[in-house]
Amino acid sequence: MTGWYLRRAVPWRSVLGCLACGAVVALVVQRWEYTGSTLGPVLVLVTIAGAAFVFDEPAAAVAAVAPRGDRWARSARLTAAVVPLFGAVLLATTTPGPSGGDWIPVLCGLSALVLVSALAVASRGVSRPGSAVASAVVLVGTAPLVTGMFLDVDSPYPAPDLSSAVTGAWYAVAAVCLAGLLRLLLAGPARPAAPHAATGGTRAAPASQRQ
C-alpha cells in the first residue's frame, strides 16, 4: 500500500530533476577538479533540495480525511526523501574536492532543515511547498559562497576542511530540526475552517431570531 501511494503521490519528476541537476554539477567538477570547493556546495544544495518536493500534496484536503489519515500520508512521504538524500550523499562523497567525511555534518544539517521546513509549510495548509522551500534552500545556501569572497569568515562548507565549531553547529541544526520534524509528524491534522469562514459568508440566524 505504501509503495503504491508513493509512486502516485510523490512528484517524482521534480525530485529526479533535482538529482539530475546535481549530477550535471558533479560532471562539471569531475572535468574541472579545481572547481570542487566552489561547486561542491552547489551540488549538495540542489540535490538535497529535491527532498522538499516529497510533501507536495495537491489534494491535501482529501488526504486529511482519508481512512489512513494525514499523519500516515506524511510519514509515508518521509520515506521517499531517502532517494534525494542518498543521491546527495553519493555525489558529495564521490566527487573530487573536499573529503567525503567532511560532508557528513553538512548533509545531516541540510537534510533535516529541508525536511522540517517543507513539512512545516505543508502543515500550514500549503499544498505544494516544494518549489518555495527548494528555492529558498538553494538561494540562502549559496549566499555564504558569495559573502566568503569578500569577507574573511569561516565557510559553513568544507573548503577544504570544516572547523570544529562549524561541525558542531551543523550537528546542532540537525538535532533541532529532527526534533521539530518528529513533533510535526506526531501532531494531528490541522482543524479545518468552519464552512461559513472558508466561504466568507455569514452564519444563518436561528429561526426564533428571524421571526
Q: What is the pLDDT of residues 152-199, one digit of tens each?
A: 777 888 877 788 888 999 999 999 999 999 998 887 554 444 444 333
Taking residues 136-148, report their average pLDDT. 88
pTM: 0.79
Q: Which three cell numbers stand for residue 156?
A: 559553513
| CA distance between the termini of the chain | 55
Q: What is the CA radius of gyration of the chain?
A: 21
Which residue did the predictor score with more confidence, 5 or 192? Answer: 5
